[in-house]
Amino acid sequence: MHPPPEVMEFNVDGEARGSTGQSGIGGVLRDHTGRVLCIFSKFIGNTDAITAEMQAIATSCDISAFKPELEGKRIVFVSDSQTAVSWINSSGFSNVEHSKTNYNILCLLCKLGQASVEFNPKDTNFSADRLAKQGAEGGGDVMRWSLS
């Protein structure tokens, strides 16, 4: 299912091998027609799953906030981590370990203007999941844009 015509959707995911192991992040930005505008995959070292998910959201916000072609666009960042999404959308965020990342995400969302972070279950995030797994395997960092 594609987002409405005025919305772009950035599906993101974080992957950690074991409770704290090799980790990667990945994401796919699509327009309302389903056309892929950006993909990324990155190895982020050894960490846990929630840290990887927070990093995936932060990275997608960061690369979107500084892309002039996306200025003024409504972007929905979609994660399959209900915990990460609730931390970002909560006015009373209290997890000290992730507070800096959370603050950075909130600043980037403000810069983007018409952006939000939403939860969607894992079964809707296949491409981002695959890219995060590729990152965790150390398959080499990837960033590709297709805006035209």
Angle at 58 between CA 60 and CA 135, to 5 degrees: 70
Q: Say if residues 16 and 52 touch (Cβ distance below 8 Å).
A: yes
State residue 18's pLDDT score: 85
Crossing angle of the two packed helices 99-112 and 82-89, in degrees rounded to 10: 70
Using alpha carbons, select from 55, 57, 51, 45 the residue that is nearest to residue 21.
45
Q: Which fold has domain 7-145?
A: Nucleotidyltransferase; domain 5 (3.30.420)
State residue 123's pLDDT score: 66
Give tens-digit pLDDT for 103-137.
Answer: 999 999 999 999 999 999 866 678 999 999 999 99
Crossing angle of the two packed helices 82-89 and 49-65, in degrees rounded to 10: 50
**Predicted structure pTM score:** 0.93
State residue 112's pLDDT score: 94
Identify the three-state secondary structure at position 8. Answer: strand
State residue 116's pLDDT score: 96
Domain ranges of the chain: 7-145
In the predicted model, residues of the chain with pLDDT beneath 50 are none
Q: Say if residues 23 and 44 touch (Cβ distance below 8 Å).
A: yes
State residue 91's pLDDT score: 65
Identify the three-state secondary structure at position 93. Answer: coil
